Structure 1
Amino acid sequence: MIDMQYINGLETEMDIMKLVDNYNEIKSILQQYPQEQWSYEMILAYARALNYLQDYSEQTNPFEQAYGLLQTVSDKGNTDAEWHLIMASVSFNLQLYAEAVKHAEQANTIIAGCADDMLALYSQYD
């Protein structure tokens, strides 16, 4: 079974030097299990790792892969600021600027001010 507490601990490491290693470890851990068994939190963790690592060693674009994964849990994510924040970042990286702004605005309606920095940046491209 996947230890989500361990994964959450890796994600909260704020030392920049460890971020890449932690996201690589999260990706490795989750890839050991079939995606059909992943929980909502696991999908968010994997999408964050793909978005951060921008690893093109596989055949698929990591942003497109993250976007597709996030879409599979959009029904639950629709009311979750964290999902909208990740979706905003992934959308921005896919140059879907209007969608990135929409998700950042939605995150802000759920948790006031949580996406202000994103909106300041993304609205320049919209």
Structure 2
Amino acid sequence: MDNLILASPQALQPSYRLVVLENALPTGQTIPLPSPPYNGALLIGRNDLQQGVVVDIDLSRYGGYEKKTSRKHAKITCTGNQFFVEDWESTHGTYVNKERMAAGLQKPLADGDEVRFAELVAQFKAS
């Protein structure tokens, strides 16, 4: 009889993240996102303590300043098991699959979607 190995429930949980891309290729940098169910918002941009701006995901560590991300750039929210992205009135825009978003409107994210914060490009992964 074959040995049957069952995966633990944790192993079956998907991992949510943004994979930073450069020239359409992964850089090896990932931005972890909380696993659902997570009902809340993550503020994305660049910390600027002198201006009193503190974000949950600081894009400075991924080249955000050089890639023109705003201090208050975008929000990622999760309702139930669905993640959404919303532009936070950024200067250079937030894009999903090359389509610029209007400020204040949420767009659902699906596995493989390209999300661009100004010139910083990432791919949403849910696997």
Same fold? TM cut 0.5:
no
Higher helix proportion (structure 1 or 2): 1
Q: 1 or 2 for the larger relative contact order (CA 8 Å, sep ≥6)?
A: 2
- Shorter-chain TM-score category? under 0.3
TM-score, normalized by length of structure 2? Answer: 0.27
User: Rg: which structure is higher?
Assistant: 2
TM-score, normalized by length of structure 1? Answer: 0.27
